[in-house]
Amino acid sequence: MDAALIAALRNVLGEAGLVGSGSRLVPYESDGLAMLRHTPEMVLLPRTTAEAAHSMRLLAEAGVPVVGRGAGTGLSGGATPVEGGVVISLARMRDVLEVDPAGRLARVQAGVVNADLTRAAAPHGLFYAPDPSSQMACTIGGNVAENSGGPHCFMHGSTTRHILGLVIVCADGEVLDLSEPQPDPSGYDLIGSFVGSEGTLGLVTEVTVKLTRVPPVTETLLAVFPGLDGACDSVSDMIAARLEPSALEILDRLTIQAVEASVFAAGYPKTAEAVLLVELEGSALEVDVTSKDVLAILEQRGAIELRKARDPLERRKLWAGRKGAFGAMGRIAPDLYVADAVVPRTKLRRMVARTAEICRERNLRLATVFHAGDGNLHPNICYDRRDLDEVKRVLEAGRMILQECIAAGGSLTGEHGVGLEKLEGMDMLFKQADLATMCRMRDAWDPERRMNPGKLLPVRACREVRTNPLPGVEARDAAAGAES
């Protein structure tokens, strides 16, 4: 990178705000999808919006690509600087700026860790509802960029439903202050269309979030099943019966074993083929009424054991197992491929079974843990990256799973984002015109496409969009067109 530019950046950020070379760049080569890596030319660590904006202006003048980065826990290669350039890390922007209990909102710098926000809200009887399993590490900025979900998003909704305001540094360094909370956006919904844009439209430096009141009563149930089918069918039945638990999470046998052998051991029965965690929130009566209906479904679908958490400690333990599941899987395989497909909730059982079949056919070990209530599957395929043939089979299985989910009316990603990893899959789901329309939105924000280039949209050259729709998708769209 140009020496004058480096000097100018150093002037803005100070020595501690620049990581320029050597092994200190290594952690910024990838996010949680470690199989795809690229070294950035430099890492910048601003402390304020003003510093970030000033740096962005300098980078804009020099035409340098910019990749925003939170904690790097992303699982789709979103923070990997695949086209080089500069990574801007929010690691030094970790202040909770304001908690307003009366307005039930908080204003934070984008580098604040998700769990720290809930910790700051707790003394006021409030919490921040989106709870990715990575919440002990991931940042609110990263959550905004990915529109992250979490177990309790089944009831409370993904990140987008909790964002009241943003401060965004645009590609040219302009600061767009959308932080004042409004009940409805005045003009186009810039915030709503920005959330989930995976760092390709701008850099978020501050976030105003909605805080939720801690429910009067929370009840956590653990249902043990002799197979995944019963667990999946229970969830589909609950949705069809229009019951409203706050979380519905399934773990399969291999995951249970990994969890139970780890520090996250939750007391799940080690021989169980599947467990379903159900959480209910509301008034004591609401919880009681729903709980009866839930228990009836679980029994009818063949649960062999039903356990209610007796106290907050037991409840926390049951959740620690679920939230620590990805970490625990490190024990059963050197590498893990975490897929993130989503299907209609009526198709859970079929798709979970089909996923297992696809892995079995390729002699791959599969551990499944997922947000069942939202139809958000996470087939985790175990592999060893040194075994090239296995890597090939894993990628093939991943592709097959996504194809089948799409054919079943599903989608590529429920919460981890497209990033780098699912770029190729975008044309299975979208036609050229759909993607070109998204490109138009991107161009309005960042005409030079310097923000996180090479992500989310399969754009190779200036306006070329690669598409190769599945024959099934074409046929279905044609049929829909004819019907209408």
What residues line the site for ligand FAD (CB under 6 A)? 31-32, 67-75, 78-79, 90, 110, 132-134, 138-139, 141-143, 145-146, 148-150, 198-199, 203-204, 326-327, 415-416, 452
Rounded distance, CA 130 to CA 415, Å? 11
Q: Which amino acid is at 156?
A: H
Minimum CB separation of residue 414 from ligand FAD in Å reads 8
Rounded distance, CA 470 to CA 121, Å? 47
Name the binder of 461 from ligand FAD, other proteins, none, CB < 5-8 A by kind: none
Q: Which amino acid is at 131?
A: D
Beta strands, E only, 60-162: 66-69, 86-89, 96-100, 105-109, 126-127
Minimum CB separation of residue 110 from ligand FAD in Å reads 4
Name the binder of 69 from ligand FAD, other proteins, none, CB < 5-8 A by kind: ligand FAD
Going by C-alpha positions, the residue among 74, 77, 120 that lies closest to residue 95 is 120
Q: Which of residues 274 and 338 has its CB atom nearest to ligand FAD in the complex?
A: 338
Size of interface with other proteins, in residues (CB under 8 A): 89
Place of tokens 């209609």: 344
Element (H, E) at 192: helix 190-194
Site string for other proteins, 161-200 (x = CB under 8 A): x--x-----x-----xxx-xxxxxxxxxxx-xx-xxx---
Q: Which of residues 325 and 401 has its CB atom nearest to ligand FAD in the complex?
A: 325
Minimum CB separation of residue 141 from ligand FAD in Å reads 3
Cα 459 → chain centroid: 22
Please pick, from the candidates 414, 450, 452, 465, the single residue that binds other proteins as defined by CB under 8 A: 414
Rounded distance, CA 119 to CA 116, Å? 5
Name the binder of 379 from ligand FAD, other proteins, none, CB < 5-8 A by kind: none
Output the CA–CA distances (angstroms, integers) from residue 178 to 188, 190, 191, 312, 384, in the order listed: 12, 8, 8, 38, 45
Scanning residues 442 to 481, which ones bind other proteins (CB under 8 A)? 442-445, 456-457, 480-481
Name the binder of 178 from other proteins, ligand FAD, none, CB < 5-8 A by kind: other proteins
288-294 contacts at long range (C-beta below 8 A, 24 or more positions apart): 290/243, 290/244, 290/245, 291/219, 291/221, 293/241, 293/243, 294/221, 294/238, 294/243, 294/245
Site string for other proteins, 214-233 (x = CB under 8 A): --x-----------------
- Of 58-66, 117-125, 255-263, 369-377: span binding other proteins (CB under 8 A): 369-377
Going by C-alpha positions, the residue among 141, 131, 210, 138 that lies closest to residue 169 is 141
Site string for other proteins, 31-70 (x = CB under 8 A): ----------------------------------------
